[in-house]
Amino acid sequence: MSFIQIVDALRTYRADALLLALAVTLLTSLLKKTVMKSCNKKVFVFLPFLIGIVLFALYRALATWSAAPLCEGIVETLYGGMECGIAAILYYVFYEQFFRGKKTASPIEDMLECIPEKERKNAAKRLYEESEKLGDEELYGYFAEHLNEYASPPLGEIELAATAEILAAFLVSLRTAEKK
């Protein structure tokens, strides 16, 4: 993924989501290196989204000085939190590719913690190349069908559905940014 593709993908998000995504990225990294060091790697696929939802909910509650974003506006709050999670992953991909020196085979490689590290690069490359041939509406089904071919241990039904949804949403976001 090139610098231009990442910046272009980030352009599709609101400024508040991008600022909160920076906090999500830093908090996720801090948790990964300290408290959650011995945690299962699968947790880190979902952690940016969970932290993003919590931070965005707090932000909206503080901005409106009410609990309305947690009750009446919950859908917008969840959407904003998911935006924060996706943008946080984009920040992480940017960091990994341009500052850490680790080149990834595809933009989804860092999101595939469920695949053993020694097989992750090739699996990410294959999954990404095949997904490029599909339309946006077909991505979820593709990932839901093929992720467990590489995952070890195989993902449960809920984990598989969530991971497939996250990967599909991430790639749709990148495609949208590339079209602009």
pLDDT score of 145: 92
Residue 50's nearest CA partner among 91, 10, 78 is 78
Task: Please identify which residue in the block is written with the tokens 């993908």.
Answer: 9
Phi, psi of 101, deg, nearest 5: 85, 0
In this structure, are residues 3 and 175 in contact, taking their beta carbons and an 8 Å threshold?
no
Q: Is the bond preceding residue 153 a cis peptide, omega within 30 degrees?
A: yes
pLDDT score of 134: 92
What are 3-50's pLDDT values in tens digits?
666 666 667 777 888 888 899 988 988 888 888 877 877 788 888 889
pLDDT score of 58: 92
Torsion of CA 26, 111, 3, 105, to 10 degrees: 140
What are 82-120's pLDDT values in tens digits?
888 888 888 887 777 777 755 556 788 888 888 888 888
pLDDT score of 140: 92
How far is residue 132's CA from residue 110's CA, in Å, rounded to a whole number? 17
In this structure, are residues 121 and 105 in contact, taking their beta carbons and an 8 Å threshold?
yes
How far is residue 43's CA from residue 162's CA, in Å, rounded to a whole number? 12
Phi, psi of 85, deg, nearest 5: -65, -45
What are 112-161's pLDDT values in tens digits?
888 888 888 888 989 999 998 999 999 999 999 999 999 888 888 998 99
pLDDT score of 6: 65
pLDDT score of 176: 81
Token pair belonging to 138: 């077909």
Q: Return the H-helix or E-strand segment holding 75.
A: helix 74-98
How far is residue 115's CA from residue 155's CA, in Å, rounded to a whole number? 10
pLDDT score of 143: 92
Choose the weakest-confidence range: 8-12, 21-25, 71-75, 170-174. 8-12
In this structure, are residues 173 and 86 in contact, taking their beta carbons and an 8 Å threshold?
yes
Q: Give this prediction's pTM.
A: 0.57
